[in-house]
């Protein structure tokens, strides 16, 4: 069999070059092994990671440039504390780097404790089966996240998934090569429990509202705005809202900003996703945060997001192509969500002052 130059977007929406020599297919029960006889590299492509599993890794160790991150965020309803953990992999032409991120938002002390730890490439393992990601003591499964290093430790699990997952960047943009970074909510909303510790302080999370996400791509996103908030309807039902606004690239040029959103209300998922919807939806800068306007089928969602400086983490990322990104993120943010019909008549309004995830990255 002759040399295979590319693997298609079964790994996600991107294309990857394979260094080395001739490749041959070797069938295995879990999928297909592509074996490079020159470099001795074996690549396992499981069927589940090629299709519907939003959790499964989209990249392959040794394929660069590429990055991939999974995260979980949760807010305790009693003490108002929040936890945000990230499991990251950045593959550059010079090698790979696995990073663990731990950010604890202490609402009582009005402090943010953030730590990061870089693992050796040899400590990292990815799999389409649980655990999905393992780097040292950092272990990610589909409904459980645990890990730690000197001074920090956590172990949390999703007890009940309320809002189903789904993509927030139109898949067509990835397939066309316009979106260099993709994002999927793997748990759109649910309740979590567990505990974390930082510098000897123990934090317990019980019936904590949270979510989980998965990002991947050949370049980190630009002009990135993201927010996630949960509310309670007067009837007692769960209301969940998530919005993402980002900019793509076409060669050296930047594309217009595309904005997508998901709303869970009344036991039904409403999605504003697609090229036309993404261009029609908007976010706007405002003092202390940003506002949004999103068109759903039959109604409009408007509102604003904000975070206080003392409850905002500042993380610096370096992407797979050496690009730098500064992310300002708070899990104790404020969000107002107003729903109106096409005539402008009010449907509902929801607010939270200290439990929304509000993020901007530049």
The per-residue DSSP string of 309-360 comes to: GGG-EEEEEE-TTS-EEEEEEEEEEEEEEEEEETTS-EEEEEEEEEEEEEEE
DSSP 3-state of 179:
coil
30 — pLDDT class (breaks 50, 70, 90): very low
Mean pLDDT of 173-181: 82
pLDDT of residue 339: 98
**Do 99 and 47 sit in the same domain of this protein?**
no
pLDDT digits (tens, 9 = 90+) for 183-223: 999 999 999 999 999 999 999 999 999 999 999 999 898 89
**Do 235 and 345 sit in the same domain of this protein?**
yes
**Do 128 and 12 sit in the same domain of this protein?**
no
Task: Please give the helix or strand (H or E) that residue 280 lies within, else none.
Answer: helix 275-280
pLDDT digits (tens, 9 = 90+) for 285-337: 999 999 999 999 999 999 999 999 999 999 999 999 988 999 999 999 999 99
What predicted TM-score, i.e. pTM, was given to this entire model? 0.86
Are residues 4 and 23 in contact, defined by beta-carbon separation less than 8 angstroms?
A: yes
**For 171, phi and psi rounded to 5 degrees?**
-55, -30
Last residue of a domain, one of 36, 52, 68: 52
- Residue 187 CA to residue 240 CA, distance in Å, equals 11
**Do 32 and 117 sit in the same domain of this protein?**
no
**Do 170 and 275 sit in the same domain of this protein?**
yes
Half-sphere exposure of 96 (CA within 13 A, CB side): 22
Last residue of a domain, one of 52, 72, 90: 52
Half-sphere exposure of 325 (CA within 13 A, CB side): 21
Per the model's pLDDT, the better-predicted residue between 122 and 39 turns out to be 122
**Do 340 and 197 sit in the same domain of this protein?**
yes
pLDDT of residue 61: 83
**Do 181 and 200 sit in the same domain of this protein?**
yes
- Give the residue numbers spanning the domain of 233: 53-361
Last residue of a domain, one of 10, 37, 52: 52
- Residue 136 CA to residue 121 CA, distance in Å, equals 10
Residue 16 has pLDDT above 70, yes or no: no
The domain total for the chain is 2
């Amino acid at each position: 069999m002759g040399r295979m130059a590319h693997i298609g977007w079964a790994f996600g929406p991107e294309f990857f070059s394979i260094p080395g020599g001739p490749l041959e297919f070797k069938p295995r029960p879990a999928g297909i092994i592509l074996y490079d006889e020159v470099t001795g590299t074996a690549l396992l492509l499981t069927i589940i990671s090629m299709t519907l599993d939003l959790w499964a890794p989209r990249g392959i160790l040794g394929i660069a440039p590429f990055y991939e991150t999974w995260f979980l965020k949760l807010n305790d309803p009693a003490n108002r504390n929040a936890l945000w953990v990230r499991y990251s992999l950045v593959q550059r032409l010079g090698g790979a780097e696995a990073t663990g991120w731990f950010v604890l938002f202490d609402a009582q002390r009005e402090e943010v404790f953030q730590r990061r730890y870089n693992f050796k490439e040899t400590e990292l393992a990815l799999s389409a089966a649980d655990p999905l990601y393992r780097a040292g003591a950092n272990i990610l499964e589909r409904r459980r996240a645990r890990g730690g290093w000197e001074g920090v430790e956590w172990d949390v699990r999703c007890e009940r998934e309320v809002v189903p997952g789904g993509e927030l960047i139109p898949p067509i943009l990835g397939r066309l090569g316009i979106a260099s970074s993709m994002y999927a909510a793997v748990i759109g909303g649910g309740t979590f429990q567990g505990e974390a510790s930082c510098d000897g302080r123990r934090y317990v999370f019980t019936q904590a509202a949270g979510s989980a996400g998965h990002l991947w791509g050949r370049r980190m996103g630009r002009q990135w705005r993201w927010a996630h908030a949960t509310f309670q309807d007067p009837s007692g039902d769960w209301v969940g809202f998530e919005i993402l606004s980002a900019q793509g690239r076409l060669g050296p040029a930047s594309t217009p900003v595309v904005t997508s959103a998901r709303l869970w209300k009344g036991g039904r998922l409403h999605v504003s996703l697609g090229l036309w919807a993404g261009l029609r939806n908007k976010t706007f800068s405002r003092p202390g945060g940003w506002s949004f306007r999103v068109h759903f089928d039959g109604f409009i969602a408007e509102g604003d997001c904000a975070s206080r400086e003392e409850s905002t983490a500042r993380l610096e990322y370096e992407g797979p192509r050496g690009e730098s990104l500064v992310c300002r993120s708070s899990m104790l943010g404020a969000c107002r969500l107003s729903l109106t019909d096409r005539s402008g008549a009010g449907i509902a309004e929801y607010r939270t002052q200290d439990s929304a995830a509000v993020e901007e990255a530049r």
